[in-house]
Chain A
Amino acid sequence: MEQHAVEQHGKAEPTGLEVVVTTMASDSHTWNLVFLQLLLEELGHRVTNLGACVPDELLVAECRRIEPDLIVLSSVNGHGFNDGMRVIEALRARPELARTPTVIGGKLGISGSGTPARQRALLTAGFDGVFEEGGSVLDFQSFVGSLPAAASRTLPAGSGVLL
């Protein structure tokens, strides 16, 4: 099922990354996804935006099909930590996605800004970056900037510390 994209903004560069922007099954918020899509396109990357309430199977299937250079999970409804822990396991279980740079951000719990323990748990579960609110977008931009140009798909060591 194809989602509508907002108009492409910025020009994808040849060295640009192939990026999947998505939320998870329980979350219907999409302004966050539209924002992240525009931001990444302005940085010269190509974005597939999977839209609202993406079921785990569809999320994994789309990532296997696209084989992106970066997977960006965004959730703000408060279930993001719980959903993210489940989804990262499903993604990492696929050999072709086991090492794909994958980050999560937004409002991941129901009681306000993230805790270090929550971030550690997400990193341990397999995320390469966790961007909860508060200046998270700038950190995210430098994280994306640190990724190697398209085609080389492994993550430089130590990039996961950009929280």
Chain B
Amino acid sequence: MTGHGGGTGDAPAVRPGAPATTGTSAAPVASGAPDASAPSAVPASGFGAFVARARAAGALVVQPRMGMADPLRMRDGLRATRDADAVTVGTVTLDSYTRTGDLEAARRALAEGVGLNGYPIATHPADTTRAVLRGIADARFPVQVRHGSAMPEHIVRALLAVGLDATEGGPVSYCLPYSRTPLREAVTAWQRSCELLASTREYGASPHLETFGGCLMGQLCPPSLLIAVSVLEALFFRQHGLTSVSLSYAQQADPRQDEEALTVLGRLAGELLPDVDHHVVLYAYMGVFPRSPGGARLLLEDAARLAVRAGAARLIVKTTAEAHRIPTVGENLRALETAAAAAADERARPALTAGAPGPCAVDTGIEAEARALIGAVLELDADVGRALVRAFAAGYLDVPYCLHPDNAGRARTSLAPDGRLLWSSVGSMPIAGIADGGGPRPPILGSAGLITALSHVQRTYDDRAADPPRTPLPPPPTPVPPRTTSTPRRELGLTTP
């Protein structure tokens, strides 16, 4: 499926950064040190190792969502990301035709100059993409491919063929909200894709895979389900050979709830994935975004502060263009630097000491719910993929407002005035009555109610930007430390000691 143009006999793609020829120098790890034997999780190189080093140095890694069809612009975007005043990793976000496997449509769009919403990695010749990455993507600047495909094998082959080995998704999170592919088929395709990615370890690479389970519909999904799916997808990745993973969680509408959720996610990951390199990645809000640049910036800054407070190692940013259109390189660059500055500011707050459990230790039942969901699923089958298929069939997992035929479709949520997400119906999920506050709440109803709930965050932040609160909501800012002292990329990035 990959190099369909010319069938260059692509030796099944399993040659990450096949040295020399690719020139991307991504992953030609010092051959002497195969880390396979060392169970001490963190690999010597690759995406996971980069994030681990940044974390150890006290820096939040920030990353854009960025993808454009034109190779030159894609290269500019990667270079700008690398050179940002922030500790960054790069992104190649793929277009929707490539995501849905319609490579013919991607080819036609390129030929006719139709604007694509991402980079068509399986359509541009591999040499073109290698040239995009050359001299930019390397051990000091790892690049991740972000897609959204229920059947991602063609994408995994294409990214391996150009010397990349970090991507994201999952059998549930890239099926239910992203396709009409039967879940069973997505699980099989994701298993094969994981195995393909993991097979590059033989060649000394350290492939990395991030769950998208912490996002699901982008909004209006209570944290416990996001955590459960994120953890279950990470377990699925591990079962199929990955040894370096990250677990996602998307900022929702109440910072306290999110802080609790991220703490729980970190704890469960530590417990259930002790033998695997892992970190937590926060996505800046994935729902309807503020329309004003000021509102968008405030929301992004809150995401960065949240990431620092709750111990996430990496943040994926959103730009001031989010509510309107695909962002430019410049908008992405500003978002990265805004987020890095807010993170540094938050870190400099006196109250925060590294390693402290941070969050105000409230327990609203997120952990109990997440544990109940994960436990119920894992009990269904020793094979995580089969367990997931059964869990959805039984309604043990049920994504609110998701139309996919394999989703039970009985769960519903409500949104408290302060932004807290609550269940109004748990359907058949084994979590009835666990969370605090007793009985079910009235669900979100009607088109007006839905829009009001979906745009709660947008409204809140647009209002805040238009009319800054007189009584400052966030505590007074502390002086920002000189940015220049923050772990320069080159030191951070060194692969081998």
Binding site for B on A (CB under 8 A): 1-6, 9-10, 25-28, 30-31, 33-35, 38-39, 42, 49, 51-54, 77-79, 82, 107, 109-113
Interface string of B437-479 (1 = CB under 8 A from A): 0000000011100110010000000000000000000000000
Q: Which single member of A26, A31, A34, A54 contacts B97 (CB below 8 Å)?
A: A26
* A26 with B324: CB separation less than 8 A: no
Binding site for A on B (CB under 8 A): 95-97, 99-100, 102, 105, 109, 114-117, 148, 177-180, 182, 217-219, 324-326, 401-405, 407, 409, 445-447, 450-451, 454
Q: Which single member of B100, B105, B180, B219 contacts A51 (CB below 8 Å)?
A: B180
- Nearest Cβ in chain A — how far from B148, in angstroms? 7
Question: Are A53 and B179 also in contact (CB < 8 A) when A31-B454, A35-B450, A112-B325 are?
Answer: yes
Closest 6 CB pairs of A and B: A4-B409, A38-B447, A26-B96, A78-B117, A39-B447, A112-B325
Closest to A52 in B: B180
Q: Which single member of A6, A27, A82 contacts B114 (CB below 8 Å)?
A: A82
Interface on chain B toward A: helix, strand, loop, or mixed SS? loop
Closest to B287 in A: A31
* A38 with B450: CB separation less than 8 A: yes
Cα of A51 to Cα of B115 in the assembled complex, Å = 24
What B residues does A111 contact at CB under 8 A?
A: 115, 325-326
Contacts between the two chains (Cβ within 8 Å), count:
110
Interface on chain A toward B: helix, strand, loop, or mixed SS? loop
Cα of A18 to Cα of B445 in the assembled complex, Å = 22
- Nearest Cβ in chain B — how far from A19, in angstroms? 14
* A51 with B450: CB separation less than 8 A: no
What A residues does B402 contact at CB under 8 A?
A: 4, 30
* A79 with B97: CB separation less than 8 A: yes
Cα of A28 to Cα of B101 in the assembled complex, Å = 13
Closest to A6 in B: B401
Question: Are A28 and B445 also in contact (CB < 8 A) when A4-B403, A110-B115 are?
Answer: no
6 contacts between A and B (CB under 8 A): A28-B178, A34-B401, A49-B403, A52-B180, A78-B115, A107-B325
* B403 with A30: CB separation less than 8 A: yes
* B115 with A38: CB separation less than 8 A: no
What B residues does A2 contact at CB under 8 A?
A: 405
